[in-house]
Structure 1
Amino acid sequence: MPSHKSAQEVASSLLATEDLHFRSLELLQSLWAGYGQICRITATPNASPNSSGATSRTASTTTSSVSTPQEVQSYILKLITPPPTKADNEGHTRKILSYQVEQYFYTHLAPQLPPQIPVAKHLASIHEPQSDGSVSMAMIITDLKQTYPVAGEKRDVLNSVQVNAALDWLSCFHGFWWPRVPSLDRTQLVRPPLQEVKADGHDARNKTVWLNGGYTYLATRRSEYANLAADHDSEWWSLTDWEKDEFSIAELVASVLEPKQSGWSPIEEYTTLIHGDVKSENLFTSKSGEEVVFYDFQYTGLGLGVCDLAKLFTCSVPLEMLVDDRPVPRELAMQGGERNLLERYWVTLKKESGKEYEWDIFVNHWETALVDWLRFQASWGFWGNTEWLEARVRHILKNEKWREAVAGNAKMAGLWSTTDLP
Structure 2
Amino acid sequence: MDFPESSGCLDDSQVRAALDWLAAYHAYFWEQPSAPAGLQEQGSYWYLDTRRDEFAQIGRSWSDLKAVADKIDARLKTSNNEFMTCIHGDMKSENLLFTSDGRRCAAYDFQYTGRSYGVRDIAYLFASSVDSSDLDSRADDYLAHYHSALAARLAEVKGQAAAAEAIARYHPAVMRRHFDLALLDYVRFMAGWGMWGSGCDWATRRARALLGQGVEQLLRE
Find runs of 4+ consecutive structure 1 residues off by over 4 angstroms: none
Structure 2 Cα separation of the partners of residues 169 and 216 of structure 1: 22
The answer (yes or no) to whether the contact 1:211–1:259 under 8 Å persists in 2 is no
Question: Within 5 A, what are the aligned runs for 1:153-302?
Answer: 155-179=7-31, 181-182=32-33, 184=34, 208-228=38-58, 231-232=59-60, 235-240=61-66, 248-260=67-79, 265=80, 268-302=81-115
Structure 2 Cα separation of the partners of residues 148 and 276 of structure 1: 25
Structure 2 Cα separation of the partners of residues 405 and 159 of structure 1: 30
Q: Which has the higher helix share?
A: 2
Structure 2 Cα separation of the partners of residues 320 and 398 of structure 1: 22
Partner of 1:351: 152
Matched residue SS, 2:9: coil
Matched, 1:377 2:190: yes
CA RMSD in angstroms comes to 1.7
CA 176–398 in structure 1, closer or farther in 2 if over 3 Å, else same:
same
Larger relative contact order (CA 8 Å, sep ≥ 6)? 2
| 1:381 maps to amino acid | G
So what's the TM-score if we normalise by structure 2? 0.88
CA 340–405 in structure 1, closer or farther in 2 if over 3 Å, else same:
closer
The alignment-based identity, stated in percent, is 35
Q: Which blocks of at least 5 consecutive residues in structure 1 are unaligned? A: 1-146, 190-206, 241-247, 325-336, 410-422
How far the C-alpha of 1:311 sits from its partner, in A, is: 0.8
Q: Which blocks of at least 5 consecutive residues in structure 2 are unaligned? A: 155-162
How far the C-alpha of 1:320 sits from its partner, in A, is: 3.0
Partner of 1:150: 4
| 2:40 maps to amino acid | W
Q: In the alignment, which of 203, 206, 210 is matched to residue 389 of structure 1?
A: 203
So what's the TM-score if we normalise by structure 1? 0.47
How far the C-alpha of 1:168 sits from its partner, in A, is: 0.5
Q: How many aligned positions are there?
A: 208
The answer (yes or no) to whether the contact 1:148–1:293 under 8 Å persists in 2 is no
CA 167–223 in structure 1, closer or farther in 2 if over 3 Å, else same:
same
Q: Which has the higher strand share?
A: 1
Question: Within 5 A, what are the aligned runs for 1:86-165?
Answer: 147-152=1-6, 155-165=7-17
